[in-house]
């Protein structure tokens, strides 16, 4: 008689059955999400390899070439101080992506632990945290960022901190709601019966089941942070000159909008496409991480 082979647990779950594979498969089928990802990759490539894509200095002025129209020498023209617009745009991508990512990290670092502990333990701690969150949410996010940056002062670093602080209540509410739903599941009750500590239950059993909403919200929040940063710079309380920041470029070029429209057109389009890229990818991730949405398609 032939030998009977027993499948090991690792072989029982095929690659096509894994959750990660299903998410990626669904995401690849979403054309708009792939378009958003492609747009983001272009901006990331430009930001990383900016020194190799241009020979011009993004800060050095040349008043003899001020406000030139697009030409072979300056493919997107020059600004009001003679600086190459293409150079400032790709270096500006570095600034915008840095602001968006670090602001979200600040919001995650504070909001996720607060939301997780608030939702899991409840009681007085939850009441205190939620009242503080209510106070912060009472201010529109951009207004709260304006208050913080006014206190801290201008500059890219302070803008990142201000937007990060304004993001904290968003993540606190989101994670608290997810934890409240997950902690009622049977596997959490089983972990408590087995004597597993609350710390390990939160980290190993609850938070992995809350990652989907956090990832999706972070994608949207990066776009929001970039938009807010541009707005703060546009009204004069964000990045300082001569930083190649898109909102600051818009503010500088608005007085020449009739004679040199390229000074505002290109920074505006850069903000539009980068924010659109994150939003399209976020929409795709939201659908891909939702099992009900995957089953419909």
d(CA 252, CA 235): 10
Which pLDDT score, from 0 to 100, does residue 291 have? 64
**Token pair for 125:** 């701690």
Which pLDDT score, from 0 to 100, does residue 294 have? 56
**Span 8-36, average pLDDT:** 72
**Token pair for 211:** 């990652």
- Which residues partner with 84 through β-bridges? 78
Q: What is the DSSP string of 2-45?
A: PPPP---HHHHS-GGGSHHHHHHHHHHH-HHHHHHHHHHHHHHH
**Token pair for 297:** 């398609």
Domains and CATH numbers, the chain: 24-48+84-296 (1.10.3720.10)
> Do the beta carbons of residue 182 and residue 208 sit within 8 Å?
no
Between 1 and 170, the higher pLDDT residue: 170
pLDDT tens string 132-141: 999 998 888 8
Which pLDDT score, from 0 to 100, does residue 6 have? 41
Q: Which of 23-27, 41-45, 267-271, 280-284 has the lowest mean pLDDT?
A: 23-27
Average pLDDT of the chain is 89
Task: Return the closest-CA partner of residue 156 out of 80, 101, 108, 218.
Answer: 101
Which pLDDT score, from 0 to 100, does residue 25 have? 84
Which pLDDT score, from 0 to 100, does residue 292 have? 62
> Do the beta carbons of residue 213 and residue 262 sit within 8 Å?
no
pLDDT tens string 258-282: 999 999 999 999 999 999 999 999 9
| Ramachandran assignment for 6, one of left (phi > 0), alpha (psi -120 to 50 degrees), beta (any other) | beta
**Token pair for 96:** 């915008």
């Amino acid at each position: 008689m032939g030998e009977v082979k027993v499948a090991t647990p690792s072989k029982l779950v095929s690659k096509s059955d894994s959750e990660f594979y299903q998410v990626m498969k669904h995401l690849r089928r979403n054309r708009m999400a792939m378009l958003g990802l492609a747009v983001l990759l272009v901006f990331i490539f430009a930001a990383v390899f900016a020194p190799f894509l241009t020979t011009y200095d993004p800060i050095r002025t040349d008043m003899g070439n001020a406000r030139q129209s697009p030409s072979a020498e300056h493919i997107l023209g020059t600004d009001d101080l003679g600086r190459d617009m293409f150079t400032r745009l790709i270096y500006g991508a570095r600034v915008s992506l840095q602001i968006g990512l670090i602001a979200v990290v600040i919001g995650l670092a504070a909001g996720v632990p607060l939301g997780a502990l608030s939702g899991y333990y409840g009681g007085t701690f939850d009441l205190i945290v939620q009242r503080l969150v209510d106070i912060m949410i009472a201010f529109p996010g951009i207004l709260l960022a304006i208050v913080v940056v006014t206190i801290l002062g201008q500059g890219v670093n302070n803008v990142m901190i201000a937007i990060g602080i304004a993001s904290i209540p968003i993540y606190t509410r989101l994670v608290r709601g997810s934890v409240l739903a997950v902690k009622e599941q049977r596997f959490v009750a089983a972990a408590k019966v087995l004597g597993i500590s609350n710390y390990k239950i939160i980290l190993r059993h609850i938070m992995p089941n809350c990652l989907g909403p956090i990832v999706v919200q972070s994608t949207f929040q990066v776009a929001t942070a970039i938009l807010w940063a541009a707005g703060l710079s546009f009204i004069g309380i964000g990045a300082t000159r001569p930083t190649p920041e898109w909102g600051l470029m818009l503010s500088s070029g608005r007085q020449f909008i009739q004679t040199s429209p390229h000074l505002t057109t290109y920074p505006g389009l850069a903000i539009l496409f980068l924010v659109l890229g994150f939003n399209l990818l976020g929409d795709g991730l939201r659908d891909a991480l939702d099992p009900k949405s995957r089953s419909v398609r």
